């Protein structure tokens, strides 16, 4: 994973340059949309800067070729997360990409995308996140961002080696720096820095809800969209130290050795990834329901657990769109992933660990929780519990609390193409993404529409894009020829807790989760 600069290539279409405070960037144009790719927003976090806070990049001298993606951050190969053709892996990966409509005259709303991937995989270069369709449909500027992943971005070595010259919450700081870059530069690309919506899915959704609980993020964005956020998967410094200890042990480095800090900085990137993946697999096995890598509740940058802050109505007062997918956990079962506990024994251990972490909390009983799944087949109950403790309930706790300080719109994505229903995935984790981005084809080998459903999918995609971009414009998130989507209200007149159900035909359902809330209770369940 040695450093490799993007190779300049001839741009097609309009190659006129944009002059911004960060430099002059030559992009490309196609289909009525201009794009600029691989723009560096931070100094390369390599050598002595590995595991240190990001430093803003200096303005680029001369004209910079911005027609190709920059490197993706180091990670293990994952066939379910294609990073794009010819994309290299490199620690020097703190880059972003910008899309904007051609010929725009007025400053447009900006949507800043944070990709998912369990805080360990993914990149802004993924073909799925080509913003051409979203920009063309919604008349917005879209920015997609790389942030450090896995052990590079979420490992807390500062707790393990407090005098080793390490910083913590590096990936979160990467995102904050990228948002500052947007504030300083996006006007040059046609965007309005006073109308920035941050949006993300899975780990990216977790970063969005984390930003809402990060005081220093105030003013960097003005609206937020959190899709399938694992909002409760944030832990304190003690758990983070345990992860760091495991990581050092994987590398054979003794933290008590005076040279430990230097030894860690000297580890080849490939070995950091390998050790990180070993820890990534081990942590959910010994502590079901937890992740090895996630933002750390450090008492400083992130003073408290985000889900608690938002449940209490103490988050940044910006409008929020938030939701999950109907069958979130099915993907993790299909992939035999350890990230979500599904079996009875692992679920029991998870609840026992939560109770130990929260000795003063009145935990719901097994019988109480099971009342929400009385109509579910026994073998599917674990999937339902895993889905709800991992995604749906944290989303509901946030919607309940944040609606007291700002407008909230709650959704559930229920649609699944016939093939996905046939193989038992349904509307599982991440299946809404092709619809949002308008990139429904995953390539010639994509089986999603093998049994039909493409035309229906295109109609759903059009409505989702209309709703998401209307929200970014500051309007109600409505779509043509579809029900108006009312804001979520705990005690609204005419029907409380309105929820958009996204399907072949969208529907507004009052208190869609009415059976879940009393079963799980209104106290936040999480780990410390």
Closest by alpha carbon to 221, among 207, 235, 233? 207
Sorted by where each begins, the domain ranges of the chain are 17-520
List the structure tokens of 367. 């019988």
CA–CA distances in Å: residue 5 to residues 87, 91, 152, 306, 389? 11, 12, 20, 37, 43
**Which pLDDT does position 1 carry in this prediction?**
42
Which runs of E-coded beta strand occur in 161-210? 191-201
Closest by alpha carbon to 117, among 66, 161, 71, 80? 80
**Which pLDDT does position 382 carry in this prediction?**
87
Active-site amino acid positions: 202, 328, 429
**Is-contact 369 386, C-beta < 8 A?**
no
**Is-contact 158 469, C-beta < 8 A?**
no
Each residue's pLDDT expressed in tens, for the chain with a length of 528 residues = 433 333 333 333 445 789 999 999 999 999 899 999 999 999 999 999 999 999 999 999 999 999 999 999 999 999 889 998 888 999 999 999 999 999 888 899 999 999 999 999 999 999 999 999 999 999 999 999 999 999 999 999 999 999 999 999 999 999 999 999 999 999 999 999 999 999 999 999 999 999 999 999 999 999 999 999 999 999 999 999 999 999 999 999 999 999 999 999 999 999 999 999 999 999 999 999 999 999 999 999 999 999 999 999 999 999 999 999 999 999 998 888 888 888 889 988 998 999 999 888 888 888 888 888 877 876 678 899 999 999 999 999 999 999 999 999 999 999 999 999 999 999 999 999 999 999 998 777 889 999 999 999 999 999 999 999 999 999 999 999 999 999 999 986 545 899 999 999 999 999 999 999 999 988 999 999
pLDDT tens, 19-42? 999 999 999 999 899 999 999 999
**Which pLDDT does position 492 carry in this prediction?**
62
**Which pLDDT does position 132 carry in this prediction?**
97
pLDDT tens, 124-163? 999 999 999 999 999 999 999 999 999 999 999 999 999 9
**Which pLDDT does position 361 carry in this prediction?**
87
Q: How far apart, in whole angstroms, are the C-alpha atoms of residue 509 and residue 448?
A: 28
**Which pLDDT does position 228 carry in this prediction?**
98
Please give the CATH topology (third level) of the domain spanning 17-520. Answer: Rossmann fold (3.40.50)
Q: How far apart, in whole angstroms, are the C-alpha atoms of residue 149 and residue 18?
A: 30
Q: Which residues contact 459 (CB under 8 A, 6 or more apart)?
A: none
CA-CA-CA-CA dihedral for 399, 207, 219, 412, to nearest 10: -30
> To which residue do tokens 């059976």 refer?
515
Grouping H, G, I as helix, E, B as strand and the rest as coil, residue 110 is strand
**Which pLDDT does position 13 carry in this prediction?**
44
Q: Which residues contact 247 (CB under 8 A, 6 or more apart)?
A: 151, 155, 275, 276, 279
The sheet carrying 63-65 orders its strands as: 17-20, 23-26, 63-65
CB atoms within 10 A of CB 156: 26
Q: How far apart, in whole angstroms, are the C-alpha atoms of residue 450 and residue 434?
A: 16
Q: How far apart, in whole angstroms, are the C-alpha atoms of residue 122 and residue 375?
A: 37
**Which pLDDT does position 15 carry in this prediction?**
55
What are the phi and psi torsion angles at 366 (to 5°)?
Answer: -60, -40
């Amino acid at each position: 994973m040695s450093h490799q600069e993007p190779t300049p290539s001839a741009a097609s279409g309009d190659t006129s340059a944009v002059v911004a405070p960060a430099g002059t960037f030559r992009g490309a144009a196609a289909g009525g949309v201009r794009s600029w790719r691989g723009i560096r927003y931070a100094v390369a976090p390599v050598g002595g800067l590995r595991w240190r806070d990001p430093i803003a990049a200096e303005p680029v001298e001369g004209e910079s070729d911005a027609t190709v993606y920059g490197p993706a951050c180091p990670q293990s190969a994952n066939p379910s997360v294609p990073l794009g053709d010819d994309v290299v892996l490199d620690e020097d990966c703190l880059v972003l990409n910008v899309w904007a409509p051609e010929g725009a005259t007025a400053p447009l709303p900006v949507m800043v995308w944070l990709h998912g991937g369990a805080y360990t995989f993914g990149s802004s270069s993924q073909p799925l996140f080509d913003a051409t369709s979203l920009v063309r449909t919604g008349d917005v500027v879209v920015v997609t961002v790389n942030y450090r992943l896995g052990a590079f971005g979420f490992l807390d070595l500062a707790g393990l080696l407090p005098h080793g010259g390490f910083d913590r919450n590096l990936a979160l700081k990467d995102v904050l720096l990228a948002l500052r870059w947007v504030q300083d530069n996006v006007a040059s690309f046609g965007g309005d820095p006073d109308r920035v919506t941050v949006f993300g899915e899975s780990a990216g959704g977790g970063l969005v809800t984390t930003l809402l609980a990060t005081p220093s993020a105030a003013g960097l964005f003005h609206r937020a969209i959190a899709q399938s956020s694992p909002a409760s998967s944030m832990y304190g410094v003690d758990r983070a130290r345990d992860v760091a200890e495991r990581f050092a042990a994987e590398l054979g480095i003794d933290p008590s050795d005076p040279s430990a800090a230097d030894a860690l900085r000297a580890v080849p990137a490939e070995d950091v990834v390998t050790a990180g993946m070993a820890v990534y697999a081990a942590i959910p096995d010994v502590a079901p329901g937890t992740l090895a890598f996630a933002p750390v509740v450090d008492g400083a940058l992130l003073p408290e657990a985000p889900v608690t802050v938002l449940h209490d109505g103490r988050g940044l007062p910006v409008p929020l769109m938030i939701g999950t997918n109907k069958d979130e956990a099915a993907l993790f079962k299909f992939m035999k992933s350890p990230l979500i506990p599904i079996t009875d024994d692992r679920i029991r251990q998870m609840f026992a660990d939560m109770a130990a972490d929260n000795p003063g909390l009145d935990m719901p009983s097994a019988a109480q929780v099971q009342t929400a799944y009385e109509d579910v087949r026994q073998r599917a109950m674990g999937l339902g519990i895993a889905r709800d403790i991992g995604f749906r309930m944290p989303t509901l706790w946030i919607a309940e609390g944040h609606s007291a300080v700002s407008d909230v719109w709650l959704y559930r994505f229920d649609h699944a193409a016939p093939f996905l229903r046939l193989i038992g995935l349904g509307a599982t984790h991440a299946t809404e993404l092709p619809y949002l981005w308008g990139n429904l084809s995953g390539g010639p080998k994509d089986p999603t529409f093998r049994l039909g459903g493409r035309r229906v999918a295109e109609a759903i995609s059009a409505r989702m894009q209309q709703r998401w971009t209307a929200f970014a414009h500051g309007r109600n998130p409505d779509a043509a020829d579809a029900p108006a989507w009312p804001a979520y209200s705990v005690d609204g007149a005419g029907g409380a807790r309105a929820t958009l159900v996204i399907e072949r035909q969208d529907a507004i359902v009052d208190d869609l989760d009415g059976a879940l809330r009393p079963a799980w209770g209104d106290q936040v369940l999480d780990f410390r």
